[in-house]
Amino acid sequence: MLHVLRATGLAVLLAVAGASAVAQQAYPNRPVRLIVPFAPGGFTDVVARILGQKMSVALGQQFIVENKAGAGSTIGSDFVAKAPPDGYTLLMVSSTHVISPWIYSNLPYDPIKSFTVVGKLVDSPYVLLVHPKVPARNVQEFIAAAKAQPGTLHYASSGNGSAQHLMGGLFVAMTGAPLKHVPYRGSSGAANDLVAGVVESSFAGVPNALSQVPQGRLRALAVTTSKRAPQLPDVPTMQEAGVPGYDASVWLALLAPAGTPPDIVRRLNSEIAALMQAPDTRKALLDAGVEPTPSTPQEMSAYMTQELARWGKVVKDANIKLE
């Protein structure tokens, strides 16, 4: 009888272990929604579509990119914060995720506590781009031109509270250049009006520079990071261009709703890390103007907390408010 009980108990344990293994293997067993809280065609959207296509192949289920833009990325972020924590609704965020809380009052979610971090994806500088009608050939001439005619030079961004807005606000605060901010509903609109000469400048992603600068449609004056971008080796850093202490990058990360099971997070993180090492993925991302910098969930969680505090100080020091 004791042998029978032991055998039965062992069978139950094996069945439970087997069910757990099957459950882990089963994810994902239906399409996954990858929410981009920005308009199509922008920096985050481009990377999301590269990652979505690669993840679809790697995991055998479609990763469908959905754009839910508006209010400095808070609409899409709130949608994912309230989604079931089952791994089938994910959020690709940028630095804007930790900027918005300082710009928008009464957010319906907590940028840290409402999400489970899957991991960091990429880093990239922004580029100070100007329309050719602006006579400035470098940053110092651009600052001088802005000061000579206050209020006549504008910088476009993808919206109030966006990373582009903060990059420009930081530049204005550090240089005293009286640039006027012009928010758009997405980076594509800002980029189009910059090329058309409707606005004179923008702090834009490297892909915008790569698609417009070589043809002479725009002029690149500086990158925002402390080291030059490999895709734009001839463009100086902001510090090299005479703005000491200016150092800012934009990053992208993948989040899930708070409470997402750890085994799903580990699966996603490990697949992303493997994809980022693959030469074809790496090339696609570098061609898109970003550098793969995957991390563990724990590393990105700590970094996001640091970035939340850092950008809060920038918003306060630069006196950035919604227009």
Which residues make Cβ contacts (< 8 Å) with residue 2, sequence separation at least 6?
none
Structure tokens at 242: 């005479």
Residue 93 pLDDT = 97
Would the CATH topology of 31-123+250-317 be identical to that of 125-223? Answer: yes
Class of domain 31-123+250-317 as given by CATH: alpha beta
pLDDT, tens digit, 9 for 90 and up, residues 81-117: 999 999 999 999 999 899 989 988 889 999 999 999 9
Residue 192 pLDDT = 94
Question: What's 230's DSSP letter?
Answer: T
The domain at 125-223 falls in which architecture? 3-Layer(aba) Sandwich (3.40)
User: What kind and span of H or E run contains 117?
Assistant: strand 115-130
At 127, phi and psi to the nearest 5?
-125, 130
Residue 323 pLDDT = 57
Measuring CA to CA, how many Å separate 81 from each of 2, 25, 136, 235?
Answer: 50, 25, 44, 39
Residue 208 pLDDT = 84
Residue 289 pLDDT = 84
List % helix, strand, coil for the chain (3-state, nearest 5).
45, 20, 35
Residue 12 pLDDT = 45
Each as own residue / partner, the long-range contacts of residues 294-298 (CB below 8 Å, 24 or more positions apart, any chain) are 294/119, 294/120, 294/121, 294/269, 295/119, 295/120, 296/119, 296/269, 297/116, 297/117, 297/118, 297/119, 297/265, 297/269
Give domain limits for the chain: 31-123+250-317, 125-223
Question: What's 237's DSSP letter?
Answer: B
Query: What predicted TM-score, i.e. pTM, was given to this entire model?
Result: 0.79
pLDDT, tens digit, 9 for 90 and up, residues 295-321: 999 999 999 999 999 899 888 887 777
Q: Which residues of the chain have pLDDT under 50?
A: 2, 4-5, 7, 10-24
